[in-house]
Amino acid sequence: MNTLKLCFSPCPNDTFMFDAMAHHKIDTEGLSFEPHIADVEALNHQAIEQDVAITKLSCHAFACLATRYRLLPSGSALGKGNGPLLVSKSKMTPADLKNCPVAIPGKYTTAALLLKIAYPQLNELKEYLFSDIETALLQEKITAGVLIHEGRFTYSDKGLHLIDDLGKNWESRTGQAIPLGGIAVSRQLDQSLQEKIARVLRRSIEFAFKYPRESTEFSALYAQEMDAAVMAKHIALYVNNYSIDLGNDGRNAIRFFLKEAVKIGAVHTVPDDIFV
């Protein structure tokens, strides 16, 4: 049996999608997968440093790596109303943030690029693990921070204030869905193997939608500090029809985002054949 390293984040949307293929609950067409679970920014850096067979990537990181990886048509976190949030401890406006320390959840995250696109004047960005940003704000180590994942569900309960919804900002200016992340495969893999992985992943996600309770134990294993209700909201927000298949709209949204990354100089160029 061919065993491939499968890298994804501990977030419930990923464990929900990958549970069935990682644990042979579906037909894997002779493939076996060795899960490697890490924060998405750690996965971004890992993919930069070495070729990985299958990995979750922020779309920002993918823009930098598109000559070495291609995106699978399934598994993406893409949609509307689910973008990162710029928040602070005190009520503020974006204009108040010039020359103030602002936390980002990693330089290669899509959140960091959306912040740069929306507010290029912010020049004191500090990298934090995404789960540490709320605490840093409350301890006043930073003036503002960009929250991703479950932070969007918990920030107001902790007394933090919204400065801007970077997702809605993107949507209102471009009319496009927000391409947060996707599942990439190394271009070193044979085309037939890339296509097989794509079929297996789609099958895994379809299984998860059909039997949502099947992944609960696996998701809870890596979300031990997350309330069950928040975990369910997390999955509902980030896993949708685009996760099953990007379709033309999803592909166009990603292409548009990559062109914007080139336009602002985040990357030099992106090849045309970015999808499996």
Positions marked active-site: 149
**Three-state DSSP class for residue 33:** strand
Question: Whose CA is closest to 31, among 19, 22, 42, 44?
Answer: 22
Helices (H), the chain: 12-22, 40-49, 59-65, 110-118, 133-138, 151-154, 166-174, 191-210, 216-222, 228-238, 241-244, 247-263
Cα 173–chain centre separation: 21
Residue type, 205: I
Torsions phi, psi for 250 (to 5 deg): -65, -45
Q: Tell me the three state secondary structure of residue 5.
A: strand
